[in-house]
Amino acid sequence: MAFDYKKEYKEFYMPKNKPSIVKIPKMNYIAVRGSGNPNDESSEYKDSIGLLYAIAFTIKMSYKGTYKIDGYFEYVVPPLEGFWWQDGNKDGIDYKQKDKFNFISIIRLPDFVTKSDFDWAIAEATNKKKQDFSKVEFLTYDEGICVQCMHIGSYDNEPETINLMHNYMIENGYELDITDTRFHHEIYLSDPRRCVTDKLKTVVRHPIRKKE
């Protein structure tokens, strides 16, 4: 039986479709940075996904059957995630200006995977796939207090869910805290290639702080 982060940490990966406030602990990620419209056929974003999964599965297969997590001998690669921002925009992101998007595509690493393990995986994938993985980095991120909600439907309709999140945030004495180091965050629980648009499930998360 494989350890599945979505099932074991439902508070982070499977929130209800109504806003809630949650404290996210420090985690390690495989990460690739880029910019531009993610929908473009030859976008940096689409390239980043291939790089991430190549390293994620190289690490996973290296531990298969040899490492035990809370009673499990294998794990499911956690879902694809992304930090998104636009320079100068402290309110989130403007979905009408996708060409101005900046992003960090990420996949969570199991806690037992070290920086040395990551470096080994980069070298291993580079050697086997004859591909450049120099854009892939080991990222430690401490997200802190956030408001989050499950969004169901098109990515372009996320502002409706975000409005609910921000209203809930204000009602509970918080304010938005998007900065140069705290970002609009999405966790993709559905594969858009295999799921109809109106059933896509995406966790949307925004950093917040107590209002003074």
* Residue 1: pLDDT band with limits 50, 70, 90: confident
Calculate the CA 84 to chain-centre distance.
10
User: How does DSSP assign 17-71, residue by residue?
Assistant: SS-EEEEEEEEEEEEEEEES-TTSTT-HHHHHHHHHHHHHHHHHHHHTTT--BTT
Residue 92 identity = G
119-157 pLDDT, tens per residue?
999 999 999 999 999 999 999 999 999 999 999 999 999
159-201 pLDDT, tens per residue?
999 999 999 999 999 999 999 999 999 999 999 889 999 999 9
5-41 pLDDT, tens per residue?
999 999 999 999 999 999 999 999 999 999 999 999 8
Q: What does pTM read for this prediction?
A: 0.95
The pair of structure tokens assigned to 8 is 């074991």
Cβ neighbour number for residue 13 with a 10 Å cutoff: 19
CATH superfamily label, 11-210: Regulatory factor, effector binding domain (3.20.80.10)
The pair of structure tokens assigned to 44 is 């940096």
Bridge partners for 151 per DSSP? 202
Residue 64: what pLDDT? 64
Taking the domains of the chain in order of start, what are their residue ranges? 11-210
